[in-house]
Amino acid sequence: MRTRTSICALRTMAVRVTNNPGERLSSALPLTVTIRSLRAQSGGAEVVLQILLESGEHQEQKTLLLSTEQYYELKPCRGVITEEAYERLEAASQLCNAVRSGENLLSYGSNTVQALARKLVQKGYPREVAVNAARKLENMGLIDESRDVCREVEKCLHKLWGAKRIQSHLWSRGFSAEAMSALPELLAEVDFARNCASLVQKHYGGLPTDADEQRRMTAGLSRYGYSLSEIRAAFQILKKL
């Protein structure tokens, strides 16, 4: 964890400057952690902590960001705190920053919990922190997979995709099994044979008479997610036009 790395690095620096071999073999110099200031921001929704880490002659300044909820849970105060208390504060700050990053990503468009967590990992957050942040945003109502899966299905149907391609697309977007369980009901009233016929008219201009052309068209329609029975039914619809 980044907290341990920071503390250990500071202690290592303090020990290395010592010229006395006996001191280098002794335990690391004690670390003092001091909260120097606390300041509310974002209309009181967040609290900024300025922290000083000291080990021997070495110092490091840290700025941590907490949500108001985290602040009241952890109750940090000005003054010296333990390393364990500092680690809890830094872990909370990392989650707070991940949630803030997640909110920013959601402002550009809807995401599933899985997709948002993946994007947060790409931004450098540990996977556990990324998942917890995405789950928190879901609990806040900023991610609603049940609502979003309906919208995504509508978009796919507008593109005249077949059921198989729609399902594959939704899994690739990271929708949960719970959200995906609504898919059969969402597609129950869809006439895929007629949609397939519309796709042929839109992209091919109509049904070709050549058998080889029809076979190539069938392969192309399969990639759109249509079953062979739906494609044959679509061909029958087109022949009657």
d(C-alpha 19, C-alpha 136), whole Å: 50
Question: Is domain 2-139 given the CATH code 3.90.550.10 in the classification?
Answer: no
At 146, which amino acid appears? S
Residue 6 predicted with pLDDT over 50:
yes
In Å, how far from its chain's centre is CA 229?
A: 38
CB 34 within 8 Å of CB 54: yes
CB 148 within 8 Å of CB 113: no
Per residue in 199-238, pLDDT (tens digit) is: 999 998 999 888 899 999 999 999 999 999 999 999 999 9
Q: What is the mean pLDDT of residues 137-143?
A: 96
Residue 5 predicted with pLDDT over 70:
no
CA atoms within 13 A on the CB side of 143: 26
Q: Which of 35, 76, 29 is nearest to 53 (CA)?
A: 35
- pTM of the predicted protein model: 0.77
CA angle 181, 168, 123 (to 5 degrees): 95
DSSP string computed for 179-220: HHTTHHHHHTT--HHHHHHHHHHHHHSS--SSHHHHHHHHHH
* Biggest CA-to-CA distance, the chain: 96
d(C-alpha 93, C-alpha 102), whole Å: 14
Q: Find all residues with CB under 8 Å of 47, minimum gap 6, and list them.
A: 38, 39, 40, 41, 65, 66, 67, 68, 71
Residue 100 predicted with pLDDT over 80:
yes
CB 156 within 8 Å of CB 148: no
Looking at the chain, the whole-number percentage of residues with pLDDT higher than 70 is: 88
Q: What's the pLDDT at 54? A: 94
In Å, how far from its chain's centre is CA 84?
A: 28
Q: Of how many residues is the chain composed?
A: 241
Quick one: tokens of 25? 């073999």
Mean of the per-residue pLDDT values for the chain? 90
Contacts 24+ apart (CB under 8 A), 103-106: 103/137, 103/142, 106/137, 106/142, 106/143
- Which residue stretches of 17-144 are H helix? 21-25, 68-74, 83-106, 113-122, 127-139
Q: What's the pLDDT at 7? A: 62
